[in-house]
């Protein structure tokens, strides 16, 4: 249990979480043999004994952390439960509604959404409306955009503290204190940290896997707020990756707008088919219809 | 193009004997010294004519000139205040070790016909930070650029792992040297040597077995002749040597004889010791090693059946009772065709080859370049931070693969506390004062607030060289304090 907790501590610290599978470049369904093989390959490449690169130390530490989590079944279970959904496309059938499944698979817990490569919490949580939109098509590919999290529109969250709950998207100023595990006893004892581990671990380890709901009192997760204030200095090396992150967000936003538009279109089709034009087919017809929709909207206003 | 010969020495700086190896044609080769020996005794002395003697020459004069001879200096490595009186001067333990290394370097240069400036030196896995630092310092004093200080059992595993057909194995290295004992468990797979656990005792070795015989001889002699020889330096030295020889004899004989004429005035020490007697007196030492072995298996989460191969390293594993007990405990015959005295130096040479990306001959007799091998070693001692009430908060547990980093958050323990001060500790004890202090972190200018409110994050980082970096940061203000381990002044002489 302590191990699980420690792993959680590490992942959650400062709201940073890495997609270990992407880090090791393995599919999430990889078996232990594959994980080990991959780790060995990467160790030979990035261990400071092998690599003269100045960031070999950092790189190896990350790879090692990923492997140590994924090789240990209980840790892996907890980690997997907290993991954001995979940024992979599912094959689309003709019904547009099916696209919904893409962002809300049943096992898709909304875990921590950022990672150490995209650490700036504010940019990740509340993207401004001015974010570049690169078209819905891109949203179905994960190419080039790493570690992007998806936010679900669903109401039902496994309400563990490890989740970024959805209101963060609306407020834009997330309540950090919920997300990061701290040592409860900090507020009560000032002695050994071991003691605090012991006292904090009961619910929190399970919380993430959704067994314990929100039974956690906020004291356990209380230090994060402070942590975030201090974290800015140590993310300079990651700053360059922010743009990729925002782009990912824009994609998602664009996707959502598209879905909304389609819905409006469908409703209109049902309510007043003549307005839409039953014979409409092809792109021209669609734009024409769109114009009509806009006109209708204007007249309504 | 593969280089014929590497430029980096692998040195096993042992308690009783030292050995040097180098990669030649992709394989580690032990260097024969100017006297035709492959091992040199780790003894330093000054002759009566004030000449510096190292190795066999020094060992030979211990009896005639005990005040001017030093042996087993490795036992004192890293002790900042320890000084050896020698030739009217006082030397540090690493100063003495540097003399041994200088001799090894000179012998190697003679053998190779070329200057060598770099080395990988081995230390017991259970050496703490200051002991490792002192070893590195000794190398530098001898004019060597020490590329890496690596663990002895790990080195042995590296040398073993280059053999044919070694793939996907878990091995246990039982390393009982002259002065130290280590156990390491490794997994060798895909060219990666991953240490799973390491355990040991830096004050348990062949010397202790000798001492048991010495104690026995002294008490028997006192009983028979009524003379206590323990104050007689020269007699004691003779008995020590006889005891060591007696121990070695008993590896092949069932009874060994100690005959020392004129040991005191005209008295003669003439006794027989049987192997059973010897085994009875040293049983507790062997038991100690077995329980350490048990602990390391537990740390690795393995049972004896999970181990594919047991490797015995260090001269003391030639003691039949030791090999027998290991075999019984592991349920497996230890590997016989490995030279326990030389394998560590050979492994050090292999690590030198990996660091220098040299060509190494690996299993299947292929020439592989060092890039296909990597050693993932661990930190053998837990690192912690001192907190209120003499308690240790453990931050990096032992057997963590290095490089590594971990942190914990601490807070103040009284209102308006402005300074947080704590020692960086190495060791497994819950009581802070029982662990070895490596340095102190002081973080000042904490804004006044109620106790328990400030959040101070302490981060420890260990790099591939085992060098520890500690950082304390006030999470509210972002104030940071970085500490590289300060060494006691005594280690810098």
> Å from B23 to nearest chain A CA?
17
List Cα–Cα distances, A16 to A111, A152, A181, A230, B460, in angstroms.
Answer: 11, 19, 12, 13, 19
Report chain A residues whose CB lies below 8 A from the CB of B476.
226, 229-230
User: In this structure, is residue A296 part of a structural domain?
Assistant: no
Report chain B residues whose CB lies below 8 A from the CB of A227.
455, 457, 475
Please check whether residues A187 and A38 belong to one and the same domain.
no
pLDDT for the residue A161: 39
pLDDT for the residue A289: 61
A11-15, A39-43, A245-249, B80-84, range with the lowest pLDDT: A11-15
Alpha carbons A54 and A63: distance in angstroms, whole number: 16
Q: What CATH superfamily is the domain B8-204+286-378?
A: ATPase, nucleotide binding domain (3.30.420.40)
A90 falls in which pLDDT band (50, 70, 90)?
Answer: confident
Q: Do B376 and A43 touch (CB under 8 A)?
A: yes
**First-residue to last-residue Cα distance in chain A:** 59
Distance, CA of B58 to chain centre: 22
User: In this structure, is residue A7 part of a structural domain?
Assistant: no
Three-class SS of residue B48? Answer: coil
Q: Do B478 and A230 touch (CB under 8 A)?
A: yes
pLDDT for the residue B34: 82
User: In this structure, is residue A279 part of a structural domain?
Assistant: no
Alpha carbons A248 and B25: distance in angstroms, whole number: 53
- In tens, the pLDDT along B93-119 reads 999 999 999 999 999 999 999 999 999
B99-113, B149-163, B437-451, range with the lowest pLDDT: B437-451
Please check whether residues A90 and A238 belong to one and the same domain.
yes
pLDDT, greater one: B177 or A90: B177
User: Which residue among A61, A80, A99 closes a domain?
Assistant: A80
Catalytic positions of B, written as ranges: 12, 74, 152, 175
Tell me: pLDDT of A40 over 80: yes
Tell me: pLDDT of B154 over 50: yes
What average pLDDT does chain B have?
Answer: 91
- Please compute the mean of the pLDDT values over residues A199-224 and round it to a whole number: 37
Task: Pull the structure tokens for residue B414.
Answer: 């009284």
Q: Do A190 and B412 touch (CB under 8 A)?
A: yes
- Please compute the mean of the pLDDT values over residues A136-149 and round it to a whole number: 36
Please check whether residues A135 and A264 belong to one and the same domain.
yes
pLDDT for the residue B55: 95
Q: Does B85 touch chain A (CB under 8 A)?
A: no
Cβ-nearest to B374 among A43, A68, A194: A43
Peptide bond into A297 cis (omega under 30): no
pLDDT for the residue A174: 41
Q: Do A226 and B475 touch (CB under 8 A)?
A: yes
Tell me: pLDDT of A212 over 50: no
Please check whether residues A146 and A112 belong to one and the same domain.
yes
Task: Pull the structure tokens for residue A245.
Answer: 């992150």
Q: Do B476 and A230 touch (CB under 8 A)?
A: yes
Tell me: pLDDT of A220 over 50: no
Please check whether residues A72 and A88 belong to one and the same domain.
no
Report chain B residues whose CB lies below 8 A from the CB of A48.
403, 463-464
User: Which residue among A80, A95, A116 closes a domain?
Assistant: A80
Spans of all domains in chain B: 8-204+286-378, 206-280, 381-492
> Å from B293 to nearest chain A CA?
24
Instruction: Tally the domains of chain A.
Output: 2
- Please compute the mean of the pLDDT values over residues A39-63 and round it to a whole number: 91
pLDDT for the residue A94: 60
User: Which residue among A40, A56, A80 closes a domain?
Assistant: A80
- In tens, the pLDDT along A110-122 reads 334 334 343 333 3
- Please compute the mean of the pLDDT values over residues B180-192 and round it to a whole number: 94
Q: CA torsion sign, B313 to B314 to B319 to B322?
A: negative
Tell me: pLDDT of A265 over 50: yes
- Please compute the mean of the pLDDT values over residues A140-144 and round it to a whole number: 35
Range of the domain at A48: 20-80
Please check whether residues A139 and A218 belong to one and the same domain.
yes
A183-187, A271-275, A283-287, range with the lowest pLDDT: A183-187
A82-86, A119-123, A278-282, B241-245, range with the lowest pLDDT: A119-123
Please check whether residues A248 and A228 belong to one and the same domain.
yes
Please check whether residues A127 and A239 belong to one and the same domain.
yes
pLDDT for the residue A185: 37
List Cα–Cα distances, A144 to A62, A88, A245, A248, in angstroms.
Answer: 20, 12, 10, 10
Q: How many helices (H) and strands (E) does chain B have?
A: 9, 30
A249 falls in which pLDDT band (50, 70, 90)?
Answer: low
- Please compute the mean of the pLDDT values over residues B73-93 and round it to a whole number: 91
A87-101, B4-18, B365-379, B395-409, range with the lowest pLDDT: A87-101
B482 falls in which pLDDT band (50, 70, 90)?
Answer: confident
Residue with tokens 């060509």: B359
ipTM computed for the complex: 0.88
Please check whether residues A52 and A141 belong to one and the same domain.
no
Q: Name the residue in chain B with its Cα closest to that of A49.
A: B355
Topology, domain B206-280: Actin; Chain A, domain 4 (3.90.640)
Q: Where are the alpha helices (DSSP H) in A86-178?
A: 100-103, 121-125, 167-171
Q: Where are the alpha helices (DSSP H) in B165-265?
A: 206-225, 233-249
Task: Pull the structure tokens for residue A65.
Answer: 């952390």
A80-84, A249-253, B49-53, range with the lowest pLDDT: A249-253
Please check whether residues A193 and A256 belong to one and the same domain.
yes
B454 falls in which pLDDT band (50, 70, 90)?
Answer: very high
A61-65, B82-86, B241-245, B462-466, range with the lowest pLDDT: B462-466
pLDDT for the residue B4: 64
Report chain B residues whose CB lies below 8 A from the CB of A43.
192, 374, 376
User: In this structure, is residue A292 part of a structural domain?
Assistant: no
pLDDT for the residue A155: 37
> Å from A80 to nearest chain B CA?
22
Q: Do A230 and B404 touch (CB under 8 A)?
A: no
Please check whether residues A50 and A93 belong to one and the same domain.
no
- Contacts of residue B13, Cβ cutoff 8 Å, sequence gap at least 6: B42, B74, B97, B100, B101, B121, B122, B123, B135, B138
What average pLDDT does chain A have?
Answer: 57
A250 falls in which pLDDT band (50, 70, 90)?
Answer: low
A72-81, A194-203, B298-307, B465-474, range with the lowest pLDDT: A194-203
Q: CA torsion sign, A230 to A118 to A51 to A43?
A: positive
Please check whether residues A90 and A188 belong to one and the same domain.
yes
Alpha carbons B21 and B19: distance in angstroms, whole number: 7
pLDDT, greater one: B157 or A133: B157
DSSP-assigned letters across all residues of B370-435: GGG-EEE-EE-S-EEEEETTTEEEEEE-TTEESSEEEEEEE--SSTT---EEEEEEESS-SBGGGS
Q: What is the CATH number of domain B381-492?
A: 2.60.34.10
Q: Which of B100, B206, B197 is nearest to B157 (CA)?
A: B197
Could you tell me whether strands B17-24 and B40-41 are parallel, antiparallel, or unpaired per DSSP bridges? antiparallel
Report chain B residues whose CB lies below 8 A from the CB of A68.
401
Cβ-nearest to B371 among A44, A182, A193: A44
């Amino acid at each position: 249990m302590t191990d699980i907790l420690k792993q959680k501590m590490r992942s959650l610290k400062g709201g940073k979480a890495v997609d270990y599978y992407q880090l090791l470049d393995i599919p999430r369904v990889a078996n232990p043999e594959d994980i080990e093989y991959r780790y060995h390959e990467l160790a030979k490449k990035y261990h400071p004994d092998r690599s003269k690169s100045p960031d070999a130390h950092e790189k190896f530490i990350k790879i090692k952390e990923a492997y140590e989590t994924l090789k240990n079944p209980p840790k892996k279970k907890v980690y997997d439960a907290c993991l954001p959904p995979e940024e992979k496309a599912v094959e689309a059938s003709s019904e547009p509604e099916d696209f919904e499944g893409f962002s809300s698979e049943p096992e898709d817990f909304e875990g921590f959404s950022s990672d150490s490569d995209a650490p700036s919490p504010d940019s990740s949580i509340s993207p401004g409306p001015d974010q570049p939109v690169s078209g819905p098509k891109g949203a179905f590919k994960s190419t080039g955009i790493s570690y992007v999290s998806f936010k679900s529109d669903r109401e039902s969250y496994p309400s563990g503290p490890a989740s970024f709950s959805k209101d963060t998207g609306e407020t834009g100023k997330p309540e950090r204190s919920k997300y990061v595990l701290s040592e409860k006893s900090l507020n009560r004892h000032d002695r050994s940290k071991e003691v605090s581990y012991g006292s904090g671990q009961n619910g929190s380890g399970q919380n993430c896997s959704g067994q314990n709901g929100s039974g956690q009192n906020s004291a356990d997760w209380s230090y994060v707020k402070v942590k975030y204030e201090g974290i800015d200095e140590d993310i300079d090396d990651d700053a360059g990756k922010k743009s990729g992150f925002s782009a990912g967000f824009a994609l998602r936003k664009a996707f959502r707008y598209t879905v909304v538009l389609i819905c409006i279109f469908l409703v209109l089709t049902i309510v007043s088919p003549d307005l839409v034009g039953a014979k409409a087919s092809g792109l021209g017809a669609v734009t024409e219809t769109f114009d009509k929709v806009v006109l209708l909207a204007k007249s309504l206003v | 193009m593969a280089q014929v010969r590497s430029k980096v020495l692998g040195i096993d700086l042992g308690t009783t004997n030292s050995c040097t190896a180098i990669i030649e044609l992709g394989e580690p080769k032990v260097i024969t010294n100017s006297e035709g020996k492959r091992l040199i005794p780790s003894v330093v002395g000054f002759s009566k004519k004030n000449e510096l003697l190292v190795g066999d020459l020094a060992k030979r004069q211990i009896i005639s000139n005990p005040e001017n001879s030093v042996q087993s200096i490795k036992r004192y490595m890293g002790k900042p205040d320890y000084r050896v009186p020698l030739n009217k001067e006082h030397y540090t333990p690493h100063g003495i070790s540097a003399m041994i290394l200088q001799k090894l370097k000179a012998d190697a240069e003679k053998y190779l016909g070329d200057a060598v400036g770099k080395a990988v030196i081995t230390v017991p896995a259970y050496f703490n930070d200051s002991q490792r630092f002192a070893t590195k310092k000794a190398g530098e004093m001898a004019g060597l650029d020490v590329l890496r200080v690596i663990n002895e059992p790990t080195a042995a595993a590296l040398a073993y792992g280059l053999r044919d057909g070694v793939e996907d194995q878990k091995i246990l290295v039982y390393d009982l040297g002259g002065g130290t004992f280590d156990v390491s468990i490794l997994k060798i797979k895909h060219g990666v040597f991953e240490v799973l656990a390491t355990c040991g005792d830096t004050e348990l070795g062949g010397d202790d077995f000798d001492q048991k015989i010495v104690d026995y001889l002294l008490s028997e002699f006192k009983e028979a002749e009524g003379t206590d020889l323990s104050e007689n330096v020269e007699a004691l030295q003779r008995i020590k040597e006889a005891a060591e020889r007696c121990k070695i004899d008993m590896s092949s004989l069932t009874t060994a004889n100690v005959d020392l004429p004129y040991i005191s005035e005209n008295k003669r020490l003439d006794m027989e010791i049987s192997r059973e007697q010897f085994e009875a007196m040293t049983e507790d030492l062997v038991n100690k090693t077995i329980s350490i072995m048990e602990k390391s298996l537990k740390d690795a989460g393995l049972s004896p059946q999970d181990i594919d191969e047991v490797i015995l390293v260090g001269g003391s594993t030639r003691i039949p009772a030791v090999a027998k007990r290991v075999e019984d405990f592991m349920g497996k015959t230890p590997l016989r065709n490995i030279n326990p005295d030389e394998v560590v130096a050979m492994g050090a040479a292999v690590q030198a080859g990996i660091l220098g990306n040299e060509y190494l001959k690996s299993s299947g007799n292929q020439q592989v370049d060092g890039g296909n091998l990597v050693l993932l070693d661990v930190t053998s001692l837990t690192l912690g931070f001192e907190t209120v009430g003499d308690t240790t908060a453990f931050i990096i547990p032992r057997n963590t693969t290095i490089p590594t980093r971990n942190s914990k958050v601490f807070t103040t323990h009284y209102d308006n506390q402005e300074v947080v001060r704590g020692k960086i500790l190495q060791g497994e004890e819950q009581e802070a004062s029982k662990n070895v202090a490596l340095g102190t972190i002081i973080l000042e200018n904490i804004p006044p607030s109620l106790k328990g409110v400030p959040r101070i994050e302490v981060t420890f980082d260990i790099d591939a060289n085992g060098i520890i970096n500690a950082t304390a940061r006030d999470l509210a203000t972002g104030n940071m304090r970085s500490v590289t381990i300060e060494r006691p002044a005594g280690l810098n002489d």
